[in-house]
Each structure stands twice: as C-alpha cells, then as structure tokens.
Amino acid sequence: MRKELGIQEILKILPHKWPFLFVDKVTDIEPGKRGIGIKNVTISEPYFEGHFPQFPIMPGVLIVEAAAQTAAVIFAAGEIERLSNEPSGGSRVSKKEMTDSPFLGYLSSIKKMKFKKPVAPGDQLKIKVRIGASLNGLTQVIIAVSTEKETVAEGEIIIAKKQ
C-alpha cells in the first residue's frame, strides 16, 4: 500500500462525489490505523454562497464530514491491504469487494468536538485521524484538524459498521 493516496484513488474508494467530497489527498497512511487527510478550501465551494456571503467560513459539520471521509479512506486502505494479502486476493481489489467491505460505515456519533478557529477560503486543512477501539460494530476515531497556523478543531467521532 502506498503511503499517499491522491484524488483519483480516493474517488475509487469513497462513494462521495462533488460537491460532497471533502478530502483531496490522504498522506502518511498506516492502513486501517491512521493517516492525514488534506482538504483545500476554496471560495468556489457551494456552501460559501450561504455560509456566510460577507464572511465565508466552512461549516463545522463539514469539517467533521471531511474527517469522517478521511477515516473511511484509512479504513479502506486497511481493507485493501487485508484483501490483497489473502491467497486468492492478488494485488488488485475490485469495487465490489470494497462495497462489501465490513469497514464501510456511517457516521454514528460526534463526541467531544471542539471548534477553535474558523476555516476560510484559502485555508488548507490537515486532518489527522487515528482509528481507536472497536466494539460491537462501533469504532472510535480521534481527529485533530489544523491549518498551517493553528488547530481549528479536535474531537472524536464514532463510525457504525455497515450492516
């Protein structure tokens, strides 16, 4: 598994597409465990038309969504590695295998989330994700989001395994 996945690989993994794709690249991947998502925030994002036209800031819920999408890529990277290492898996993993993956899931809970600074057009988000403990189909994900200047959000989300 490569240590970095670009937008073409992300588009193959995530079901999300524009305008609801909030991760441009994932770096420093330790498949199934941790990684860093990169989101380039641009004024052309459709939500800036209404949030807020005179002082555009990225909604906090979309920062959380970017973290959840980064976690999904890291989960998928772990699943791709696992499937590729199976005797019949070979080096290629099909879209069907990824769709049927037990690691695909849904955002179930947002816990202890703190938003420290607004995110504006021109910022580049660095979304650090660490996969935590799993229990009964729920997985803890610890997130810390920063720009080049400072931490803008941190907290924890829970992902529910796809049933």
Catalytic residue among 51, 82, 117, 126: 51
Query: CB within 8 A of 95, min separation 6: which ones?
Result: 12
- 84, 137, 141 from 131: Cα distances, Å: 21, 13, 5
Q: In what order do the strands lie in the sheet with 138-146?
A: 25-30, 34-40, 124-135, 138-146, 151-161, 105-115
Annotated active-site residue 16? The verdict is: no
The Cα–Cα gap between 120 and 59 comes to: 10
Question: Three-state DSSP class for 19?
Answer: coil
The Cα–Cα gap between 68 and 47 comes to: 18
Question: Looking up tokens 């979304």, which residue turns up?
Answer: 127
User: For residue 41, what are its two tokens?
Assistant: 């925030």
Known catalytic residues are 51
